[in-house]
Chains A and B, each alone.
Chain A
């Protein structure tokens, strides 16, 4: 897949790089030389091969599912003073009906 000058201008725009015309032309040649070698990968049969998503032995470690180490500035009740049927009652928005009416 050969890169054209229009491709280079397009990717330079995506990458927020201003390229003078002369530099854009040399980039076309450089990228095409490099991509020629990359095309070797097209010959490899990767049917059914998963994409690598990490390289560690165990993958990303997951921290313990516990609360944050910092105490809250206000108690939890302060965030939700009212509870009904196991749900938190929050202040009514003007566009919503009153919880008492629900």
Chain B
């Protein structure tokens, strides 16, 4: 069972055929039926159904608006690292236990202004550091398709909320693949916009040169409508670009004849799971049949993305997370003097993965190692970005790749940190280069979803949506078979 699509909920609510309260009740019932609570799928870090009902009650007052909000009456789940004034924002961490932000993230404000209802805050890997949503102070989230497996991460709670049919749209955040990889694992759509496309005001910073707010949707259309609402310049975020936001849903009615689709050979190595390769081949065959021109291209520095990412992201995290020290936010554990309080609070508040990354980041930035690691990584990052620039300048409109090297793995199966980091091997490049990318379901292997990824050049999300709409239509039921 799925949630009603965003477009239908909006038109029915605007026409008075359904109330926002009805839609919300259906979402609450669905959450109960699938066992979304702590002992079940463990999807949410926080839910306040009374607050959601109060939001829904105000929607009726807006029906007289000449233009109904784009998300009128649509319940939306929000990742727990995006600031909300009416619910805690804890980033899945003990160190922010009970913390309520004094202001609201721009993306949340825009959802509300568009008529959306904030349904709850979703579970996540602590401070968005992880690829499985196992590293949360609230415990692991389970994959709704196969509850003994992970939903991917770090936005696993948001992905699970959509995949289980509670909501049609959810917000996540991306630093190295934290929307696309869980979208692939849960069989839904996940979009990482261009760096600068969406305001990050109110998104708790992890790695500021990589972070973006992303959107999950049950369908390409749900995701397109969600992104359209949150995208656009915000004077509260100087990294948000003042570039017009096109109507992404218009891409649904454009065919892909003449679209040039590049297949980067580095994303299809000999070691790629043959079953995943076969699903990609089937998707590529559909694109060809639709009139797209498909050709092999090369992004030669792809295999360096993980070492580069896992130097730059922890380095930035070690700086960004320095503010959590028991003075201003959340948890405080007393110790021997001020320094003792800092150390006791941070050691007691951060989990093992966050601690590991703070130490790694501090190390690569420290005297004597900065040039060998951090400066080198920033140089190789330039080479990775140049790879994309060269390919898109050669006339390629979009790239198509697998989203992840595997399907969802069992909870607890990966204990080696570096092995976990390799989950991001096909996704981290887009964050390093700042280009937009999205994952859509392209089939299943043994009942487990497989994602296919489209990437485009900066601020060309519309072209990416064009390809995704077309492939989704062509695959039909095959995407979930």
Contacts and interface: CB of A to CB of B under 8 A. Distances in A.
Interface of A: 1, 3, 7-8, 10-12, 14-19, 27, 30-31, 33-35, 37-38, 40-42, 44, 46, 49-58, 60-61, 63
Interface string B414-436: 00111001000000000011100
Given A1-B372, A51-B375, A17 B346 contact: yes
Given A37-B418, A38-B373, A40-B304, A56 B359 contact: no
B459 A30 contact: no
Contacts of A38: 307, 310-311, 364, 373, 377
A3 to B, nearest CB: 7
Nearest to A39: B307
B310 A44 contact: no
A41 B364 CA distance: 13
A15 to B, nearest CB: 4
B62 interface: no
B172 interface: no
A88 to B, nearest CB: 31
Interface in B342-382: 342-344, 346-347, 350, 355-356, 358-360, 362-364, 366, 369, 372-373, 375-382
B351 to A, nearest CB: 12
Given A17-B350, A37-B307, 14 more contacts: A12-B359, A15-B362, A16-B339, A17-B358, A31-B359, A38-B373, A38-B377, A41-B373, A41-B380, A49-B383, A52-B209, A52-B432, A55-B434, A60-B239
Contacts of B376: 41-42, 44, 46
Nearest to A49: B379
Contacts of B383: 44, 46, 49
A15 B358 contact: yes
Given A18-B343, A31-B360, A34-B418, A56 B196 contact: yes
A49 B308 CA distance: 15
A14 B304 CA distance: 28
Contacts of A18: 335, 340, 343-344, 346-347
B477 interface: no
Q: Which of the four size classes fits the interface of chain B?
A: 35 or more
Contacts of B356: 27, 30-31
A55 to B, nearest CB: 3
Interface of B: 194-196, 209-210, 235, 238-239, 241-242, 301, 304, 306-308, 310-311, 318, 322, 325, 335, 339-340, 342-344, 346-347, 350, 355-356, 358-360, 362-364, 366, 369, 372-373, 375-383, 385, 416-418, 421, 432-434, 457-459
Contacts, number: 140
Majority SS at the chain B contact face: helix
Majority SS at the chain A contact face: loop
Given A16-B339, A42-B372, A42-B376, A11 B310 contact: no
B209 A16 contact: no
Contacts of B372: 1, 42
Given A17-B346, A33-B416, A11 B382 contact: no
B356 to A, nearest CB: 6
B363 A3 contact: yes
Given A44-B383, A49-B383, A54 B209 contact: yes
B378 A52 contact: yes
B380 A46 contact: yes
Nearest to B358: A15
A8 B380 contact: no
B347 A52 contact: no
Contacts of A57: 194, 196, 241, 434, 457-459
21 contacts: A11-B362, A14-B362, A16-B322, A19-B347, A30-B417, A31-B360, A38-B311, A38-B373, A41-B308, A51-B379, A52-B432, A54-B209, A54-B434, A55-B209, A55-B434, A56-B196, A56-B434, A57-B196, A57-B241, A60-B239, A61-B242
B385 A52 contact: yes
Q: Which 7 A-B pairs have the closest CB atoms?
A: A55-B434, A18-B343, A51-B378, A57-B458, A46-B379, A52-B381, A18-B347
A56 B307 CA distance: 21
Nearest to A47: B379
B307 A27 contact: no
Contacts of B210: 55
A11 B366 CA distance: 8
A13 to B, nearest CB: 9
A11 B241 contact: no
Contacts of A19: 347
Contacts of A55: 195, 209-210, 385, 432-434
